[in-house]
């Protein structure tokens, strides 16, 4: 059992929880995720790690209330317990293996959309702890949906906020901000890391490809089972079949077939759609053993 040490309501439908999970906290790295199951009857929920403290032996998760299971989890209070908290899973950020001195020479821009700010934060924080400067854009539909602004502000070299309705920060979407930074302000970047809804990441990648900036995206939003057995997060990357949970969740954004991923995500929501995908994809439908029912 894993105790909830702290709980915060970041918005009407977004919740932050700090959970006592010593083994996960001891070995997790930015970019990885955990699978949470609140009780025996609860479903498995894959969530990217928002923060961690090896000293406190805690891991912080952020989730949006989108269904029955996340609604039940949001009802838990500080001092309550979660039955399963499994991780760390997935691969950590690729650039973690680079020498810090090399990273210090790079100009990195993080682009976060909505709840995507949660997995962006530990990456920017890790770089800041190593003395590596990074800029960050947080985009949301309106001011009430901007999350973790204070936390990101402390670790980012420059923080830019955009809202679709102009209620806070710059009016427009994250691409509008990227264009302004590069084309008007004359900034140059060696790498962009974009995390958010698929549609947002798609258009960020279209822009950064045009600007010739290498871009990494996280496909955590399409994960369901988190082990590769369900086939939900099957995606085409550079023409090859990959699974976000076992091969990622981070990939070269310029190689991801976002149109196929979004179409497949819609089909996977229905039983008929899942059966069709299984028939069409055969043994490659799954990412784990490849032969499960």
pLDDT tens for the chain, residues 1 to 293: 899 999 999 988 899 999 999 999 999 999 898 989 888 877 888 888 999 999 999 999 999 888 888 898 999 999 999 999 988 888 888 888 899 999 999 999 999 998 899 999 999 999 999 999 999 999 999 999 999 999 999 999 999 999 999 999 999 999 999 999 999 999 999 999 999 998 999 999 999 999 999 999 988 766 665 555 556 677 778 888 787 777 778 888 999 888 888 776 665 444 454 453 454 545 554 544 343 44
Q: Domain containing 47: what range? A: 2-89
Q: Is residue 82 located within the same domain as residue 102?
A: no
Q: Is residue 102 located within the same domain as residue 209?
A: yes
For the chain, the C-alpha Rg in angstroms (whole number) is 19
Q: Is residue 51 located within the same domain as residue 101?
A: no
CA proximity to 250, closest of 76, 11, 89: 89
Sheet-wide strand order for 84-89: 81-82, 2-11, 14-20, 58-64, 45-53, 33-37, 84-89
Beta bridge pairs of residue 219: none
Q: What is the pLDDT of residue 232?
A: 66
Q: Is residue 131 located within the same domain as residue 193?
A: yes
Q: How far is CA 257 from CA 136, 218, 223, 239, 261, in A?
A: 25, 13, 16, 8, 6
Q: Using the 3D structure, point to which of 218, 244, 262 is the last residue of a domain.
A: 218
Q: Is residue 209 located within the same domain as residue 128?
A: yes
Q: What is the pLDDT of residue 277?
A: 46
Q: Is residue 145 located within the same domain as residue 254?
A: no
User: How many structural domains are present in the chain?
Assistant: 3
Q: What is the pTM of this model?
A: 0.84
Q: Using the 3D structure, point to which of 218, 243, 278 is the last residue of a domain.
A: 218
């Amino acid at each position: 059992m894993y105790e909830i040490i702290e709980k915060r309501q970041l918005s009407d439908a977004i919740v932050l929880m700090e959970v006592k999970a010593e083994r996960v906290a001891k070995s997790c790295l930015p970019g990885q995720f955990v699978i949470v199951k609140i009780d025996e009857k609860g479903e498995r929920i894959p969530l990217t790690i928002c923060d961690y403290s090896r000293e406190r032996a805690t891991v912080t998760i952020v989730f949006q209330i989108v269904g029955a299971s996340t609604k039940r989890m949001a009802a838990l209070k500080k001092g309550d317990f979660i039955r399963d908290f499994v991780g760390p899973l997935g691969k950590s950020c690729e650039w973690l293996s680079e020498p810090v001195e090399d990273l210090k020479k790079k100009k990195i821009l993080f682009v976060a959309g909505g709840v995507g700010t949660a997995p962006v934060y530990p990456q920017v924080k890790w770089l800041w702890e190593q003395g590596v400067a990074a800029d960050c854009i947080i985009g949301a539909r309106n001011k009430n949906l901007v999350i973790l602004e204070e936390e990101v502000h402390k670790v980012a070299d420059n923080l830019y906020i955009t809202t679709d309705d102009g209620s806070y920060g710059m009016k427009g979407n994250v691409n509008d901000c990227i264009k302004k930074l590069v084309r008007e302000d004359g900034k140059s970047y060696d790498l962009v890391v974009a995390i958010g809804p698929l549609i947002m990441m798609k258009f960020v990648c279209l822009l950064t490809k045009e600007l010739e900036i290498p871009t990494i995206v996280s496909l955590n939003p399409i994960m369901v089972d988190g082990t590769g057995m369900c086939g939900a997060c099957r995606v085409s990357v550079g023409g090859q079949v990959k699974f976000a949970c076992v091969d990622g969740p981070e990939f070269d954004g310029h190689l991801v077939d976002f149109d196929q991923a979004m179409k497949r995500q819609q089909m996977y929501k229905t039983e008929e759609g899942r059966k069709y995908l299984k028939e069409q994809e055969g043994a490659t439908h799954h990412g784990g053993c490849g032969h499960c029912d």
